[in-house]
Chains A and B, each alone.
Chain A
Amino acid sequence: MTKIKISKLSLLFIVIATSAFVLLPTNSVNAGWLADWTFEHTFGYALFIVMSVAGTMIGALATLLNWTIHIPVYPDGGIAVVTKSWEIMRNFANMFFILALIMMAFATIFDVLPGAAKYNARAMFGRFLLTALLINFSLVLGVMVIQGTQVLSNTFLTAIGDMANRLGQDLNPSKLLPSQDGITASISPGAALDAAVFGTLATLIFSIILIFTYLFSILTALIFAFIRIPILWALLIVSPIAWIMNIFPAGQGTFKKWWSLFIGWNMFLPIYLFFLYFGLYFLSDQKNIIQSIASEVSEAKIGESLPFSLQLVFFYIMTAIFMIGGTIVAMKASMFSGTGVVGIAKWSRGIAARRLGLTAAGTAAQQKLAQVKEEGLPGRFGKLYGGDYGLAQQTSRFGARFGVRGAELKNQKAFVDRAGKDYADFERQYQNGQITETEVAKRALQFDATDPRGFAYRKLAAKIGQLDPGGEILTTTLQQLSKNPLAAEDFAKSAAAGKFSKMKGKDLARMAAAESGPGYDYSSLKGSVAARREMFRYVITDPKAMSGLDTGQIEAGISVFGGHTTADGRNFLKEVGKISPSFAVDYNSNSTRNPELRKEAEEGFERAYTTDPAHPVRAANDFQLKTHMYGSFLKTGDMKDTANIKKDTWENSPEFKEALKLYIAQLKSDGIRSPRTNYINRLGEALLNTVGGDRKLEILHTEILSSPTTTGVMPGGRVPPSAPTSPL
């Protein structure tokens, strides 16, 4: 910015001159008629010419504007240049469909490439189809938008009527001009310097500015109103390109930009017409305003009110603001409306879609698509599409063939994980009461266990205790999952959680042992080791099922757990010992099959009976050893375990009876609260609730508690029990 430098001296002169001009007393001066005439006519003509030219131009522009705004952008018969150009563009755009297909194909094939996902068929195909359909209607759609906004424009056009005529009538520039008297008064050096002088002068200056403002505003409006037509034509012509860009992720911005521009230029005219209508409406009521101003000025004293013309100028300024501002606002608002309309269109589409359930359906479809992608698409005759799960399985299968470490396990785990999702769904449905127990059991048999859904239903049936008493679900599941021990184990765990309900303990024991016999054959379950382990683990927690185990089944259990040397095997044997100590005792004392266990037992005996290491007390016979072993079980087990010991052992094992005698004998017996009394009372109570409890109770009272046992001290230790010579 350049600063105008005014010296201090000059500034002082201006101030003094102005003060003198304003403050000096006024006197009429007769400068002579020639000077007055020359000044008046020269200035008056100059003013006349300026005003006339401006007024003529305003009239011409208003006529042109009126004509322009009535031009239809796209007449009914169409515009040849637009139609033909659009066809060329459409044909050109159609070539890009091939390109889009190739891109989709490559992106889908090489889906693993980073960034390729948004170009693959899943991402692009929807837009591809939509564009392929709508690109041929892009011209029609564009014309529809034009006609839509034209309807809006027509509303204002009808309301405005003859715009040029109304502008001419209402916007009378002559009213802006000060009267000749006023002018001469203001310029005559002899006239009184009253308030009107400044008012007239200001009115004159403002009127000139205002005239040109109107001129400019109408010119601007005319230019915009006119150029929007070719712009809209151009946008219509390139519309196929905009549509084709919509297919490609990178071109979607361009497509949106096209729509915002197109709608923006369409909306310019209705918005401008709105402001024009408003401005004209304002002008049409000027009579009332002018009258109000005039009455105020006539009644006011000098200095109390603004001069009439100045108020009028203000009124016209307001109108000018509406006219110029209207053009500017129309331009801005239309461009905003372009993006706004696109935004609103998106918003309204969202609302409508939500109302119609399309959003939900779309979201659900996307979720389903994601699910299909992950889990595959099941068909009537197998899988149509395997999804990630199918791919993982296939990879694992090939991996297993190629000997990849852990590939098979991965495959099994993928199946369990996949079925786990179905299981969670089905379980939720069951919890919500959407499916009943019966339906679960029914559906469990509708699908194979190798189908994730079938597995999930079977697992749920097992969990909620709906395994059929015949064991069909259990056995078929384990048979079908013979190649997936992980899933079989998972299933068996669920069944154990459901306590294998509805299944008889005897059948469960047979299945766990993979036995076959008259009327049943579970030998096919031999391979389902993990599942059988789970069954045995459950069996040892259920005293009733446990007491039903026969020797062969117990042996099968030990075998399933990897023999008595493994932790699981030892634990199983220990649990078996609680219910069936006779088996454990026989098993542990069998010197042929398990010499190390026998040796261990003999060492235990020696430790128990020897008090002087120099004279070790060893078991003289099997009776002594086994009695000692029974005694160990009685000591480690609790009251319930003793009561649950099989009736057969109670009846037929003299070693057990002797051990129980010894065990009770070593308990203190010194009153009502003595451990012995307490033990006997509690054991009697516990026996009542066991299988064969009455017989055990009889044996307890008539044999164990009523016949003597031997004890005492011998060199080196305590006296071991003697073998009975007759029934105890």
Chain B
Amino acid sequence: MDEIINEQENPGYATPFNVDLFGSKPKNFYAEYTRRVLALPESVRNIMMDSSTAEFVGENLSSTYNLTAEQGTEITRIIRDILLGDAPLNSMPSLISSKLDTDQETSSQIANKIVNELFSPAIEDIKKLQADRPPERPDLKIDPSINKNNIVDLRNRNS
């Protein structure tokens, strides 16, 4: 008797929507994730959920740049993050470079290809989403290893 697991045989074939849905997740993850996806503009949601996105990554990009299945999955994740507004659009080359471990030029080419060919139908909506993102603030938390006595608090007039 054979056992069959229905999990997709190649995660690289996943869409940005379901790329990380398999396996255990934190509580309310699905509820929150569903809410966010449903809040997206339709054009963006189409890119997020359509099988053609998986095809674009799995066949087009992978064959052009000789990407492995894992690298394809990473690109799918990057696309998801950008579409959800979790990652800035202009950081895509650096994200690709860091996650896929590729050179800057290839990363830029991949990013350009994604923007020009995959995002083009929804580029305006994506720009709007990106504009609505909260600006990234510098991390102001003080490293616990730093001695607080060495820090001058400029707001404290008594010091």
Instruction: Mark A residues whose CB is within 8 Å of B.
Output: 661, 664-665, 669, 671-674, 676-678, 680-682, 684-685, 688, 693-695, 697-698, 701-702, 704-712, 719
Asked if B55 is an interface residue, CB under 8 A from chain A, the answer is: yes
- Sorted from nearest, which 10 A-B pairs have the closest CB atoms? A694-B34, A712-B1, A698-B30, A708-B3, A701-B21, A694-B31, A694-B30, A705-B6, A672-B13, A685-B49
> Across the two chains, which residue of chain A brings its CB closest to B29?
A698
Contacts A661-B6, A674-B13, A710-B2 known; list 18 others, CB within 8 Å: A676-B8, A677-B51, A678-B51, A681-B54, A682-B51, A684-B18, A685-B17, A694-B35, A697-B30, A702-B24, A702-B25, A704-B6, A705-B7, A705-B22, A706-B5, A706-B23, A709-B6, A711-B4
**Is A684 a contact of B6 with CB atoms below 8 Å?**
no
Counting residue pairs across A and B whose Cβ atoms lie within 8 Å, the total is 94
List 10 A–B pairs whose Cβ atoms lie within 8 Å, in order of A's numbering.
A669-B9, A671-B13, A672-B59, A673-B51, A676-B8, A677-B8, A702-B25, A709-B3, A711-B1, A712-B1
Asked if B58 is an interface residue, CB under 8 A from chain A, the answer is: yes
**Residues of chain B with a CB closer than 8 A to A707's CB:** 5
Nearest Cβ on chain A to B12's Cβ, whole angstroms? 8
**Is A664 a contact of B6 with CB atoms below 8 Å?**
yes
Instruction: Mark B residues whose CB is within 8 Å of A.
Output: 1-9, 13, 15, 17-18, 21-25, 29-31, 33-35, 37-38, 49-51, 54-55, 58-59
Q: How far is the CA of A694 from the CA of B49 in the complex (A)?
A: 15
**Residues of chain B with a CB closer than 8 A to A693's CB:** 34
**Residues of chain A with a CB closer than 8 A to B7's CB:** 705-706
**Is B2 a contact of A688 with CB atoms below 8 Å?**
no
Q: How far is the CA of A682 from the CA of B8 in the complex (A)?
A: 14
> Across the two chains, which residue of chain A brings its CB closest to B3?
A708
**Is B13 a contact of A698 with CB atoms below 8 Å?**
no
**Residues of chain A with a CB closer than 8 A to B3's CB:** 708-710
Q: How far is the CA of A302 from the CA of B55 in the complex (A)?
A: 127
Of A676, A681, A695, which one neighbours B6 at CB under 8 angstroms?
A: A676
Of A681, A708, A719, which one neighbours B49 at CB under 8 angstroms?
A: A681
Q: How far is the CA of A678 from the CA of B8 in the complex (A)?
A: 11
Q: Which of A677, A684, A693, A697 has the most CB of B within 10 A?
A: A677
> Across the two chains, which residue of chain B brings its CB closest to A667?
B6
Nearest Cβ on chain B to A449's Cβ, whole angstroms? 42
**Residues of chain B with a CB closer than 8 A to A685's CB:** 17, 49
Q: How far is the CA of A664 from the CA of B9 in the complex (A)?
A: 13
**Residues of chain B with a CB closer than 8 A to A708's CB:** 3-5
Nearest Cβ on chain A to B62's Cβ, whole angstroms? 10
Q: How far is the CA of A678 from the CA of B30 in the complex (A)?
A: 21
Nearest Cβ on chain A to B131's Cβ, whole angstroms? 25
**Residues of chain B with a CB closer than 8 A to A673's CB:** 51, 55
Q: How far is the CA of A688 from the CA of B17 in the complex (A)?
A: 11
**Is A701 a contact of B51 with CB atoms below 8 Å?**
no
Q: How far is the CA of A674 from the CA of B35 in the complex (A)?
A: 28
> Across the two chains, which residue of chain A brings its CB closest to B1?
A712
> Across the two chains, which residue of chain A brings its CB closest to B38?
A688
**Is B30 a contact of A706 with CB atoms below 8 Å?**
no
**Is A684 a contact of B22 with CB atoms below 8 Å?**
no
**Residues of chain B with a CB closer than 8 A to A680's CB:** 6, 8, 18
> Across the two chains, which residue of chain B brings its CB closest to A712?
B1
Q: How far is the CA of A684 from the CA of B49 in the complex (A)?
A: 8
**Residues of chain A with a CB closer than 8 A to B30's CB:** 694-695, 697-698
Q: Which of A671, A680, A682, A710 has the most CB of B within 10 A?
A: A680
Nearest Cβ on chain B to A727's Cβ, whole angstroms? 13
**Residues of chain A with a CB closer than 8 A to B9's CB:** 669
**Residues of chain B with a CB closer than 8 A to A694's CB:** 30-31, 33-35
> Across the two chains, which residue of chain B brings its CB closest to A669?
B9
**Residues of chain A with a CB closer than 8 A to B24's CB:** 702
Nearest Cβ on chain A to B19's Cβ, whole angstroms? 11
**Residues of chain A with a CB closer than 8 A to B34's CB:** 688, 693-694, 697
**Residues of chain A with a CB closer than 8 A to B8's CB:** 669, 676-677, 680, 705
Residues A706 and B22 in contact in the complex (CB < 8 Å), given A681-B15, A694-B31: yes
**Is B1 a contact of A701 with CB atoms below 8 Å?**
no
> Across the two chains, which residue of chain A brings its CB closest to B53?
A681
**Residues of chain B with a CB closer than 8 A to A677's CB:** 8, 13, 51, 54
**Residues of chain B with a CB closer than 8 A to A678's CB:** 51
Residues A672 and B58 in contact in the complex (CB < 8 Å), given A697-B21, A701-B18, A702-B23: yes
Nearest Cβ on chain B to A317's Cβ, whole angstroms? 104
**Is A709 a contact of B18 with CB atoms below 8 Å?**
no
Nearest Cβ on chain A to B76's Cβ, whole angstroms? 12
Nearest Cβ on chain A to B6's Cβ, whole angstroms? 5
**Residues of chain B with a CB closer than 8 A to A681's CB:** 15, 17-18, 49-51, 54
> Across the two chains, which residue of chain A brings its CB closest to B58?
A672
Q: How far is the CA of A685 from the CA of B22 in the complex (A)?
A: 15
Residues A672 and B17 in contact in the complex (CB < 8 Å), given A661-B6, A688-B34: no
Q: Which of B30, B35, B37, B50 has the most CB of A within 10 A?
A: B30
**Residues of chain A with a CB closer than 8 A to B51's CB:** 672-673, 677-678, 681-682
Nearest Cβ on chain A to B9's Cβ, whole angstroms? 6
Q: How far is the CA of A681 from the CA of B8 in the complex (A)?
A: 10
> Across the two chains, which residue of chain A brings its CB closest to B32?
A694
**Is B13 a contact of A684 with CB atoms below 8 Å?**
no
**Residues of chain A with a CB closer than 8 A to B50's CB:** 681
> Across the two chains, which residue of chain B brings its CB closest to A722?
B1
Q: How far is the CA of A502 from the CA of B49 in the complex (A)?
A: 33
**Residues of chain A with a CB closer than 8 A to B5's CB:** 705-708
**Residues of chain A with a CB closer than 8 A to B13's CB:** 671-672, 674, 677
